[in-house]
Every structure is written in C-alpha cells, then in structure tokens.
Amino acid sequence: MVRIAHISDSHLGAAMFQLVERKEDMRKCFRQAVEKAISYEPDILVHTGDLFDSHEPSPEDLQTAIALFKKVKDAGIRAFVVQGNHDLVGRRWAVSPVVSLERAGLAYTTIDSQYRALRVNVDGSKVVLHLVSWGPEKTTRRLISEARPNGDINLLFAHTLPIRWEESPLGFNYIGEGHGHNFRLDKELGIGRPGSTAIVEWRREVGYGRTRKLIVIDVSKDGENVYTTEKLEDVREFNISKIDITGHSGEEAHQYLRDKIAKISFKSNGGIAIVQVVGTIDSETDEAIKREELIALGEKDQNTLISFLEPNWDVLGARPFKLTKPLDVETSVKEYVEQSNQGNPEEFLEILKPLIKKR
C-alpha cells in the first residue's frame, strides 16, 4: 500500500485587502496543512501548484517553504510540487521559485518543462507520478492524454485538468488537480482537488458548501482506494453577511446598516467582516449612506482586523412621469406627487395656492 497526502494552492505572499497580516496568515495556514499531512505518515506528499502567489516571493515566504519541505523530508516523506500559474515566470532567463526546492534536494518538480514522469519505489511497489505544471490549455490536454500508466501504482497530478473529470484518462489509481480553491472529491473516478490551504479570494471560497481539505489516499495494487479527508481552517475568522436596503430612504437606510453591522459578532478578535449591501435605492439614499462611518463602526466595536463594505446596490436614475395636462398646474402637481410617492398632493397644492393665484 502507498499513502499519498494531497494539498494545493497555498499562495504564500497573498495579501487580501493589501493586509500585511494576511501574508503571515497564509504562512500559518500552509504550516498547518503540512503538519496535518505529516501526521498521517504518508509515503508521498504532493502539492498541485500555486505554492507561491508570485514568481518573486519574499525571503520570508521562500524560507517558510524551504523549512516546511525540509520537515517533510526529515519525516521520511518524498515531496512533489507541480508549478501553478502563479509560480511560473514570464521571463525566459528567470527561474520559478519552486525549482529552488528541487535544487535544495527537498522536492521534485517539472523544473523548466511542463511535464515530467518520476518513478519511485515504495515498499517494493513501482510508483510512477506524472506531473503536469501550468501551461497552454491545448498543450496541457495533449500532455494529459499522452501520459501512459506504466507502474504498479500510477498517479497523475496537474495544476488544472482542462477537461471534464468524466473524460480523464484511464489506468491511473488517483488523479489530483489544483487551481480551483474549493474542495472536490469523486471517489468513483478517483479524482480529487483539495482546494486552497487558506482563503485567498473570499468571493469564491467563503459560503455554503465551500471548503478546503487535506486529501489522504491509501492506494494498493489490487484494491480500491481508501480516502481520508480533514478540513483545513483559515487561521482568521470570516463573517460575511448580505443586507438588503430596498425600501429604505436617506438616514433610515444608514441607520438600518448601522444596526445590522453592530450585531456582527466574532468568537475572537481580529476577524474579517464583509458586508454585501444589495437592493434598489434612489440617488438621495445613496448619498445619505456614510460608508467610512460604517466601516469605522465595525472596526471599532467588533475589534475586526478589517470591515469591508461592498456596495452592490442599484441606484435609480431619473424616473419618467406622465402628466396628462402639462399646462394645468394643479393637475400636474397632483400627478407628480402621486407618482413620486412624496406625500399628500393636497398639502402641496395648499402651499402652492398663493403662487398659482398670482399667475
């Protein structure tokens, strides 16, 4: 039996909302994922790309990766890293930071090629790993289709599978991919995607059914795979709420948002509060919403790392009014007030009577 631990998309160096704190969060989440993987005592650890958020990582991020892969090696685990689109360099004379791991003797990768097949022996079984890094979709399709299972246990890992999972090549004991930041596993097809080790893009990764997991696969020559998964939690708490302000006007909408934001709670300090405000309002209501004040309220009262207000509301423009007698002042005023819902038309007419008489 061969045990494989599969993680992906750690994006070391990513800084959500340009927060320095999130860079350290990404390191902590990656460290947690690696340590969880080591605890399962796998024979092989595979990272399917976007280890770094940039092809020019900071010294802190590079040292974090080197230290953790050294820990993997010291535990007697072979490491393999596929290069993702964020890891790769656009300039020909530059080298992907992932390659430095192989040069240090800590992990195998595809180096300066998009594809590489590697053979290792695990307890007498010849295990063949086909690694496919990021590249043009057409080339990636070809490389995947041309990969030939020729070991006792055959594994295929790509940063992304540009095909439907049902169309994946046959003969592989397990196929793993990255790129998608949310967990997915099809045990019948033998294909898995762990998701990211931390929340990188909250719009895609936070919400019902969106999770990130470590995938551990026990593969034997003859039997079916046995899968174990463990959820990967971000080190920082996220609270995302949606507030509809349709029907509210002016200061009323602002106060409504204040009341809702004041009720946002976290189990601990330093969380990230994201408020998506939706609905349809008029331009006066739009101007009455003081965004800076609402953001400051969340950061002060909830002790958040950041409060982000996303204005997704629609603002009504000028509305058409139908006047049946444009030259009749009293009739026009009455129709305008009724159609704009601005109060009692009789009260407006009472105010305008002196002006009308003068004419």
pLDDT in tens, 210-242: 999 999 999 998 878 999 999 999 999 999 999
In the predicted model, what is the mean pLDDT of residues 113-134? 96
Q: Do residue 150 and residue 264 come from a single domain? A: no
In the predicted model, what is the mean pLDDT of residues 322-336? 76
Record the pTM.
0.85
Q: Do residue 287 and residue 269 come from a single domain? A: yes
Q: Do residue 306 and residue 198 come from a single domain? A: no
Segments forming the whole domain that contains residue 296: 238-316
Which is more confident, 259 or 228? 228
In the predicted model, what is the mean pLDDT of residues 158-165? 96
Tally of structural domains, the chain: 3
Last residue of a domain, one of 171, 197, 231: 231
Q: Please report the DSSP string for 297-326 in residue order.
A: HHHHHS--SEEEEEE--EEE-PPP---S-T
Residue 322 lies in a domain: no
Q: What is the CATH number of the domain that holds 48?
A: 3.60.21.10
| The pLDDT value given to residue 90 | 66
Q: Do residue 291 and residue 333 come from a single domain? A: no
Q: Do residue 296 and residue 335 come from a single domain? A: no
Q: Do residue 198 and residue 110 come from a single domain? A: yes
Using only the alpha carbons of the chain, give its radius of gyration.
29
Residue 250 lies in a domain: yes
In the predicted model, what is the mean pLDDT of residues 251-274? 89
Q: Do residue 336 and residue 307 come from a single domain? A: no
On the 0-12 / 13-18 / 19+ scale of CB atoms within 10 A, 136 is exposed
Last residue of a domain, one of 201, 231, 261: 231
pLDDT at 27 over 90: yes
Q: Do residue 42 and residue 7 come from a single domain? A: yes
Q: Please report the DSSP string for 331-351 in residue order.
A: HHHHHHHHHHT-S-HHHHHHH
Residue 324 lies in a domain: no
pLDDT at 320 over 70: no
Distance CA 317, CA 76 (A): 66
Distance CA 74, CA 78 (A): 10
Considering only CA atoms, which of 333, 329, 330 is closest in space to residue 321?
333
Q: Do residue 273 and residue 342 come from a single domain? A: no
Q: Do residue 242 and residue 348 come from a single domain? A: no
| The pLDDT value given to residue 340 | 62
